[in-house]
Amino acid sequence: MASIDARARFAIRTSLLVSAAMRMLGRQASTLPGRIGLAMDHGLLGKASVAIREGSVLVVGTNGKTTTNNMVYRALEIAGFKVACNSEGANMVTGVMTTLARTLGFSMQGRADWASIEVDEFSAPQVAAALHPRYLVLLNLFRDQLDRYGEIDVVIGKLIATVESQPQMTVVYNADDPLCTYVAARASSRVGFGIDQDLDLPRDLVVEGRFCMECGALLSYHYRQYGQLGDWYCEVCGNTRPPRAFSASDIDFGATYDSPMQFVAQRWEPAKSSTPLSRELFTISSKGSYMVYNILGAYAAASLIGASSDSFKRMLAGFTASRGRQERFIVDSIPVMVNLAKNPTGFNQNIGVVLNDPRPKAVIFIVNDNSNDGHDISWLWDVDYERLAATGFAHFYAGGHRMNDLQVRLKYAGIPVRLSPDTAMSVKEAIEEGAGVVYVLPNYSALVPARTAIEEISSMATVTTRDARTDDVSRRRRR
Of 368, 366, 337, 333, the residue nearest 353 (C-alpha): 337
DSSP sequence for 216-254: -PBPEEEEEEETTEEEEE-TTT--BPPPPSEEEEEEE--
Q: Which letter does DSSP use for residue 201 in this model?
A: P
Q: Is the dihedral of CA 22, 28, 29, 34 positive or negative?
A: negative
Q: Tell me which residues of the chain have a pLDDT lower than 70.
A: 1-2, 144-150, 204-207, 256-257, 322, 324, 392-393, 460-479
- Strand residues in 301-454 grouped as ranges (E): 327-331, 334-338, 361-366, 394-399, 418-420, 437-442
3-state secondary structure of 277: coil
Count of residues making up the chain: 479
CATH code, residues 52-317: 3.40.1190.10
Between CA 429 and CA 399 the distance in angstroms is 14
In the prediction, which pLDDT does 57 show? 98
In the prediction, which pLDDT does 144 show? 65
In the prediction, which pLDDT does 354 show? 87
352 Cβ contact list (under 8 Å, min separation 6): 201, 202, 226, 288
- CB atoms closer than 10 angstroms to residue 314: 16
| φ, ψ (nearest 5 deg) of residue 77 | -65, -40
In the prediction, which pLDDT does 471 show? 33
How far apart, in Å, are the Cα atoms of 332 and each of 269, 361, 422?
Answer: 51, 14, 18
Paired with 80 in beta bridges are none
Rg of the Cα atoms in the chain: 22
In the prediction, which pLDDT does 468 show? 30
Between CA 275 and CA 269 the distance in angstroms is 9
- What's the burial of 414, exposed, middle or buried (CB within 10 Å: 0-12/13-18/19+)? exposed
330 near 460, Cβ under 8 Å? Answer: yes
Position 186, amino acid: R
Tell whether omega for the bond before 270 is within 30 degrees of 0, i.e. cis: yes
Q: How far is CA 469 from the centre of its chain?
A: 24
Torsion-angle region of residue 61: left (phi > 0), alpha (psi -120 to 50) or beta?
Answer: left
Of 42, 19, 1, 24, the residue nearest 101 (C-alpha): 19
* Superfamily, domain 327-464: Mur ligase, C-terminal domain (3.90.190.20)
Of 283, 285, 277, the residue nearest 314 (C-alpha): 283
Between CA 377 and CA 408 the distance in angstroms is 13
| φ, ψ (nearest 5 deg) of residue 246 | -135, 130
Classify each residue of 447-461 as buried b or exposed e, where b means 16 or more C-beta atoms within 10 Å of its C-beta.
beebbebbbebbeeb
In the prediction, which pLDDT does 460 show? 52
How far apart, in Å, are the Cα atoms of 348 and each of 33, 102, 216, 431?
Answer: 36, 37, 26, 24
10 Cβ contact list (under 8 Å, min separation 6): 40
Q: How far is CA 19 from the centre of its chain?
A: 25
Would you list the domain boundaries of the chain? 52-317, 327-464
Vertex 334, ends 321 and 401: CA angle to 5°? 65
